[in-house]
Chain A
Amino acid sequence: MIEFLAATIRIATPLALAALGGILSERAGVFAVGLEGMMLAGAFAATVGAWASGEPAIGMLLALIGGAAIGLAVAIVAVRFRADNMVTGLAVNILSLGLTSYLMRIIAGGGRPVNIHLTPLAALPIPGLADIPVLGRLLFTHPPLTYVTALGCVALTLFLGRTQAGLTLRATGENPEAVFASGANPLIVRMLAVVSGGAIAGLGGAVLTLQQVGTFTDGMTSGRGYLALAALIVGRWTPWGAAAACLVFGAAEAFELRLQSFGVPVSSYIIQMVPYLIALAVLAGLGQSSKLPASIGQPLQREH
C-alpha cells in the first residue's frame, strides 16, 4: 500500500509542476496548450545541463530557462500577435519535439543521440520528520524536486491570493479592460505569466529526467503536458485542486502498474484510459464552467 501511494506521488509530481505553470498562464487568460512542449524542453535542458556540468542544480536552472523559452514563443505569437491560443500551443509542442530531438543528436556530433545516463536524484529525508512511522516514508522521504512541487503549491496559492501582482494577474484573465483602466498593462501581464508558467512547466520536465528516468529520449513526456492541462481544469484552476487531480491521475497509473504485476484480468489499456475519461467526465459534468477565467483565449484589444 505504501508503495502504491509512493508511486502515486512520484507519478503525480511532474504533472503537478506542469499544472502549476499552466495555472499561471490560464488565470492570466492564455490557454496553456503548450505545456507539453514546455515540459519537454525542460526535460531536455535539465538532462543536458546536468550531464555537461555534473551538477543537477545546473540542470534544474537550465530546465527553467528551456521551459521559459518555449513560453516566450507562445507569448510572442499568441499574446503579442494575437494568434489563436490553441493552435499556437500545438505549434510550439511540435517545435519543441523536433528541436529537442535534433539538439540531442547534434551535441555529440555524430548524429546519434548523446549517451547520457544520470543517476536519478536520491531521496532527501527530512531530518526528524522522516522517522515518523509510515508517514515519514511516505511524505518526508522524497527527492528534492518533489518538495519543491509541494512548496510551489503553497507559494502559488499565496501569490495568487495575497499579492497585488497575483490579483492583477487574475484580473487580467477575467477582464483585461478593467486592468487597463486600473493602470496596468494587460499585455505585459499576460506575457510574463506565460513565460514564468513555461519555466515552471520546464521544471516539471526536469522531474522526469533528473528524478526518475535519468536520461532524455525523444518525446519522453508522451502527453503528460496535456494531462496536466486536464488536471488544472479539473482542479478548477487552483494549485491544490490541480495537485489533487494530478494525484488522482497518478493513482490511476500506479494502479495500472500494480495490476500488471498481479496479473489481474482487467485490461491495462482500459485502465490507462481512466485519467482521460475522468477529465472528460468532470468537464462534461461541470458544463460551461463558471470558474473558467472569463477572458481566457480572447485576444487583447488595442489600447483606445
Chain B
Amino acid sequence: MRNGAESVSALLEMRGIVRRFGDLCANDNIDLDVRPGEILGLLGENGSGKSTLMKVLFGMLTPDAGSINFRGRPLAGHTPAEAMAAGIAMIHQHFMLIDAMTVTENVMLGWPAAGRVLRAKDVAARVREASQRFGLDLDPDAQIAKLPLGRRQRVEILKAILREAELLILDEPTSNLAPAEVADLLTILRRLRAENKGIVFITHKLPEVLEVCDNVVVLRTGRVAGRAPVAGASQGQLAEMMIGRDVSTPRKIDTARPPGEPRLEVLGLSAPGLAPLTFEIRSGEILGVAGVDGNGQIELVETLTGLRPARAGQIALKGCDVTRSTVAARMRLGLAYMPADRAYTALVKTMSVAENLMLRDSRRPPYGRGPILTRASGAAKARALMADYDIRARDPNFIVARLSGGNQQKIVVARELDRGPAVLIAHQAAWGLDPGATRFVLDRMIALRDEGAAILYVSSELEEVLAISDRVAVMARGGFAGIVPRPDVDMRQIGLWMAGRAA
C-alpha cells in the first residue's frame, strides 16, 4: 500500500523544456510529470508543440534548455535506442512494422533477447501470454498485412510491453481507428495502468481524454495552457483551453454580395477514409474546412479533383457530372487545385518557374498550340505572371528548388488563379509561409471569390479559415462534423467539433 503522494516518486519529470526552430518557439518552458500507474493526456492542436515535446523526451531532438528525469535518473543527450533501453517506448502514429511478416517476427526484429538463432517458439509463447494478460487478442502467427489497423497498433504496444517499457508514449493513437477499435484500445490502456505503467496519451480528441486519462495537460502555441485532473473537467473547458480566445478579426465582412448559382455540388460522396459527404459551394462563396490534419482532408480533396476514385456518390461541376472524369477533364471544366504537397505534387522542383507555371496548361495558348510549345509567348506570359503575383526570381528560367517557400507557393497560386477558374480547391494554401506571404495568398483568395469563383479552402490553421470563409465546416473522422455561416461561429462549438464530438 502506498504511504502517500510524496513517496510515490514520479516516473517522469520534465522541467523547463525549451526548444526553438529558428524564430518559432515550439516548446516554451514546459513542465510535465507522469507517475507510475497514471495515464496523462497531452492535448493540443496541430503546431501546439506536443510532437516536439515527445521527440525531445524520446531522444529524437535535443532541447535548448530544461531537464528530464526518468525513474530517478537524469536523461540527457540520449538517442532513441538509449531511451528504449531506459524503459521508454514510443508508439508512433505511423507504425514501424513489416507488413509481410508475422507478429512474432516483428517482435523478434532487433530484440537481442530473441537470440542469434531465433527462438521463435519461445517468443510466440510470450506473445500469447502478454496478449492474454493485457487483452491484446493477438495471434503470434498472424501476418501484419492481414491485420486491421487497430490490431497492428497493438503489436507496437506488445513490443513495448515485452521490452519491459515502464513509460509508453502514444502519439495520436486513435487517428486511424474505428470507434470499436478505439474502445478496445482504451481498455488495453487501463490494463497497462493497472500494471503500474505510465502512459502519455497525445491527442486532440476530447471524449477519449475524458474517458481514460487521469490528468490532462493542454498545450497551446508551445506553452502549457492549462493542467487539470480529468475528474471534474468538462469538454467545454478543455476545448477553450485548447483553442483559446484569440480569434483574429475576420479580414472582410463583405457578405453584401449574395452567392450565385451552385458551382460545386457533392452528393453522398464516399471513398476510403471519407464518410458520405453532401454539400455545395456557390459562385462567389468560400467554404472553409477546418479540422486537425488526418481527418479525411486529403481524401476529400483528391477525390474532388480526380486524383482518387470515389467509391460512391456524385460530384457535379457547374452542373456537369464529373464523378468519373479525369483530372484533365475536370480542369477543362474550370476546376483549379492547389495541393498541400508543394514538394512533389504541386511543383516540379527541378524545373524552372516558367515550366511550373505551364505545368497544367502546356497544350493551350499562350504556352502551346497544337503539337508545339510556343516559347516566346509562353515566356512573355511567365514574366507577366511573375510581375502580377510578385514572384521573386531572377528570370523565368530560374529553378524552383532555389526559391523560398513563399515564392514557390506564389507560383502555384499564379498558375491556378490565372486560369480564371470556376471552382478552386485549396489545401493548406498558406502552410509554412511567413505572415506576408500568407496575407498575399488570403487576399488573392478573396479577390477570386469576388470575381465569382466558388472556393473550397481546406486548412488545419483555424485562424486562416476563420479569416476568409463565408461558411465554416469542421472535418472530423472523414466527415463534416458541422457547417455554420461565418457570423454564427461559436468557438466553443468549433472546438468540440474539432475534438471529435458529432454535431
Indicate if A touches B (C-beta under 8 A).
yes
Interface residues of A (CB under 8 A from B): 162-165, 167-168, 170-171, 174-175, 177-179, 181-184, 291, 293-294, 304
Q: Are B110 and A182 in contact (CB under 8 A)?
A: yes
State which of A164, A174, A178 has its C-beta within 8 Å of the C-beta of B115. Answer: A164
**Distance in angstroms between the alpha carbons of A167 and B102 in the assembled complex:** 11
Q: Are B99 and A171 in contact (CB under 8 A)?
A: no
State which of A162, A171, A291 has its C-beta within 8 Å of the C-beta of B109. Answer: A171
Residues of B contacting A181 in the complex (Cβ-Cβ under 8 angstroms)? 80, 96
Asked if B484 CB lies within 8 Å of chain A CBs, one says no
Assuming the contacts A179-B109, A181-B80, A182-B96, asked whether A162 and B101 have C-beta atoms less than 8 A apart, the reply is no
Chain B 91-104, CB-CB to A under 8 Å as 1, else 0, gives: 00000111111000
Which chain B residue lies CB-closest to A162? B118
**Distance in angstroms between the alpha carbons of A51 and B111 in the assembled complex:** 47
Q: Are B116 and A164 in contact (CB under 8 A)?
A: yes
Q: Are A183 and B98 in contact (CB under 8 A)?
A: no
Residues of A contacting B116 in the complex (Cβ-Cβ under 8 angstroms)? 163-165
Q: Are B98 and A164 in contact (CB under 8 A)?
A: no
Interface residues of B (CB under 8 A from A): 60, 80-81, 84, 96-101, 105, 108-112, 114-118, 120
**Distance in angstroms between the alpha carbons of A184 and B110 in the assembled complex:** 7
**Distance in angstroms between the alpha carbons of A183 and B96 in the assembled complex:** 12
B154 → chain A, closest Cβ, in Å? 16
Which chain B residue lies CB-closest to A165? B116
**Distance in angstroms between the alpha carbons of A163 and B100 in the assembled complex:** 17
Residues of A contacting B110 in the complex (Cβ-Cβ under 8 angstroms)? 168, 179, 182-184
State which of B81, B99, B117 has its C-beta within 8 Å of the C-beta of A163. Answer: B117
Residues of A contacting B115 in the complex (Cβ-Cβ under 8 angstroms)? 164
Assuming the contacts A162-B118, A181-B80, A183-B81, asked whether A167 and B108 have C-beta atoms less than 8 A apart, the reply is yes
Residues of B contacting A304 in the complex (Cβ-Cβ under 8 angstroms)? 60
**Distance in angstroms between the alpha carbons of A294 and B114 in the assembled complex:** 24
Residues of B contacting A162 in the complex (Cβ-Cβ under 8 angstroms)? 117-118, 120
Residues of B contacting A293 in the complex (Cβ-Cβ under 8 angstroms)? 100
Q: Are B114 and A164 in contact (CB under 8 A)?
A: yes
Q: Are B81 and A170 in contact (CB under 8 A)?
A: no
Interface SS majority for chain A: helix
Which chain A residue lies CB-closest to B112? A164
Assuming the contacts A183-B110, A184-B110, asked whether A164 and B100 have C-beta atoms less than 8 A apart, the reply is no
**Distance in angstroms between the alpha carbons of A182 and B115 in the assembled complex:** 15
A-B contacts, 24 listed (Cβ < 8 Å)? A162-B118, A163-B116, A163-B118, A164-B108, A164-B112, A164-B115, A164-B116, A164-B118, A165-B116, A167-B105, A167-B109, A170-B98, A171-B109, A174-B101, A175-B96, A175-B99, A179-B109, A182-B96, A182-B109, A182-B110, A183-B84, A183-B110, A294-B99, A294-B100
Residues of A contacting B96 in the complex (Cβ-Cβ under 8 angstroms)? 175, 177-178, 181-182
B431 → chain A, closest Cβ, in Å? 21
Which chain A residue lies CB-closest to B61? A304
Q: Are B114 and A174 in contact (CB under 8 A)?
A: no
A56 → chain B, closest Cβ, in Å? 32
Q: Are B100 and A174 in contact (CB under 8 A)?
A: yes
Residues of A contacting B99 in the complex (Cβ-Cβ under 8 angstroms)? 174-175, 294
Residues of A contacting B112 in the complex (Cβ-Cβ under 8 angstroms)? 164
**Distance in angstroms between the alpha carbons of A177 and B109 in the assembled complex:** 12
**Distance in angstroms between the alpha carbons of A291 and B145 in the assembled complex:** 12
A67 → chain B, closest Cβ, in Å? 26
Residues of A contacting B97 in the complex (Cβ-Cβ under 8 angstroms)? 175, 178
**Distance in angstroms between the alpha carbons of A182 and B112 in the assembled complex:** 11
Residues of B contacting A163 in the complex (Cβ-Cβ under 8 angstroms)? 116-118
B263 → chain A, closest Cβ, in Å? 39
Which chain B residue lies CB-closest to A164? B116
**Distance in angstroms between the alpha carbons of A179 and B60 in the assembled complex:** 16
Assuming the contacts A177-B96, A183-B81, asked whether A168 and B109 have C-beta atoms less than 8 A apart, the reply is yes
Which chain B residue lies CB-closest to A180? B96
**Distance in angstroms between the alpha carbons of A171 and B118 in the assembled complex:** 14
17 extra A-B contacts, CB within 8 A, seeds A175-B97, A182-B109, A183-B81: A162-B118, A163-B116, A163-B117, A164-B112, A164-B116, A167-B108, A167-B109, A168-B110, A170-B98, A170-B101, A171-B101, A174-B101, A177-B96, A178-B96, A179-B109, A181-B80, A184-B110
Residues of B contacting A167 in the complex (Cβ-Cβ under 8 angstroms)? 105, 108-109, 118
A192 → chain B, closest Cβ, in Å? 16
B115 → chain A, closest Cβ, in Å? 7
A169 → chain B, closest Cβ, in Å? 11
Residues of B contacting A177 in the complex (Cβ-Cβ under 8 angstroms)? 96
Residues of A contacting B114 in the complex (Cβ-Cβ under 8 angstroms)? 164
Q: Are B98 and A174 in contact (CB under 8 A)?
A: yes
